[in-house]
Amino acid sequence: MLGKSEALSVLQRQLQRIDDVKARPRFSPEFQQWKRDTEVAIEKTFGTNTRHSADFDRVRYGLSIFSNATPPSAFEEAFRDGLEEARTVLESLIDEVSEYWDEPSSHDHGGVGAAAVSALQRVETVCRRFHLVARQMRARHSNRQTLEVEDEYDVQDLVHALLRLDFDDIRDEEWTPSYAGGASRVDFLLKNEFVVVEVKRARKGLADKELGEQLIIDITRYQAHPDCRTLVCFVYDPEGRIANPAGLERDLSTITDRIEVRVIVAPRGI
C-alpha cells in the first residue's frame, strides 16, 4: 500500500480529473480511463476488497429506470450526478487519509525521516528544482568552467548527479524488453525503489505533439520492464517551447494495474 503523502497525491490527481471528464461526451474513452485509474488508485491506497472500493463501485453514472420517452437530457444529468457522487467519495477518502493516517517513522537521513519521504517525491523534487540548479551552476566564481546544460545528454548527466543525493543503487542505460520489434535503453533505474526515470529535453522540432507521441511509446514499453513500478518522465523545457505543460502532464500521468506514470515538465514557462 502507498504511504500517506503518495496516497494523497494519487487520490487528489483523480479528483482533479473529474472536471475534465465532465466536459467530455458521456461514457467517453477519457471517462473509462479515469474510472479504471481511480479503481486502481483506491486499491493501491487501501488494498483490495475494502469498503473504500465498494463505496466507489456503488456510484452509478446512468439511469436505472427509463423508457423510450426519457429525454436525452435526463441521461446527461444522471451521468453528471454520478461524477459528482464520485467526487464526494474521493473527497471522503482523501479526508480519511489526511486525518487518520500517520507517516511511517524511520532513522533520520540528513535530519529528515527518510521513510517519510517517498522515492517518487524525492525524484519529483529533483525534476521541479532542476532548472534552478542548472542556472546556479552558471554563476561560478572567477568565471570558472562549468556544465552548460545544452542538450539531452547534459540533462542526463546533471540529473544523475542530483539523484546521487538520495539514492545508492542507480543503474543507467538498462535495456528495456523488446517492443514493436526493437528495444531501447532506460535512462536511470532506481533498483531498490523500482523507479525508472526517463529524461527528455524540449527543443526545436520536439515540443508538445512530438514529445507526447514519444512518451506514449515509452510508457507502453516500460510496462513490460520487470523492475518498473513507477515511471517518471522528466521533460526539461528551459526555453518554454511546450505551449501547455500542465495539459501534457495531466494527459499522460496515469495509474495502470502495472505501473504508475508521472510526467513532469519543468520549468513551467519562462
DSSP state of 182: B
118-266: what CATH class? alpha beta
Backbone angles phi, psi at 173, to 5 degrees: 60, 40
| Residue 6 to residue 93: CA distance in whole angstroms | 13
pLDDT of residue 18: 94
- Provide the residue type at 168 as one letter: D
Mean pLDDT, the chain, as a whole number? Answer: 85
Cell of 45: 491506497
Mean pLDDT for the stretch of residues 141-161: 86
Q: What percent of the chain has pLDDT over 70?
A: 89
pLDDT score at 139: 80
Give bridge partners of residue 72 from the DSSP assignment: none
More confident residue, 257 or 67: 67
| Cell numbers at 115, concatenated | 521513510
State the cell numbers at 130.
532542476
- What's the pLDDT band for 105 if we cut at 50, 70, 90? very low
**Domain residue spans of the chain:** 4-100, 118-266
Higher pLDDT, 133 or 105: 133
Report, as an integer, the average pLDDT of 157-172. 92
- Model confidence pLDDT, tens digit, residues 3-25: 788 889 999 999 999 999 999 99
Average pLDDT of the residues in 100-112:
52
Is pLDDT larger for residue 143 or for residue 229? Answer: 229
Q: Give me the pLDDT at residue 114, please.
A: 38
- Position 29, amino acid: P
pLDDT tens-digit series, residues 74-98: 999 999 999 999 999 999 999 999 8
Which helix or strand (DSSP H or E) is residue 16 part of? helix 4-16
- Higher local confidence (pLDDT), 123 or 103: 123
Task: Name beta bridge partners: 263.
Answer: 233
Is the pLDDT at 183 greater than 60, yes or no? no
For residue 148, give every residue at least 6 positions away whose Cβ sits within 8 Å of its Cβ, in sequence order, or none: 138, 154
Lowest mean pLDDT among 65-74, 88-97, 132-141, 142-151: 142-151
Averaged pLDDT, 244-250: 88
Measured CA to CA, the distance from residue 241 to residue 263 in angstroms comes to 16
Residue 178 has a pLDDT of 52
pLDDT digits 0-9 by tens, 27-67: 999 999 999 999 999 988 988 888 999 999 999 999 988 89
- Judged against a pLDDT cut of 60, whether residue 182 lies above it is answered with no
Percent of the chain with pLDDT over 90: 48
Q: pLDDT (tens digit, 9 = 90+) per residue, 211-242?
A: 889 899 888 888 888 888 899 999 999 999 99
Is the CB of residue 188 less than 8 Å from the CB of residue 160? yes
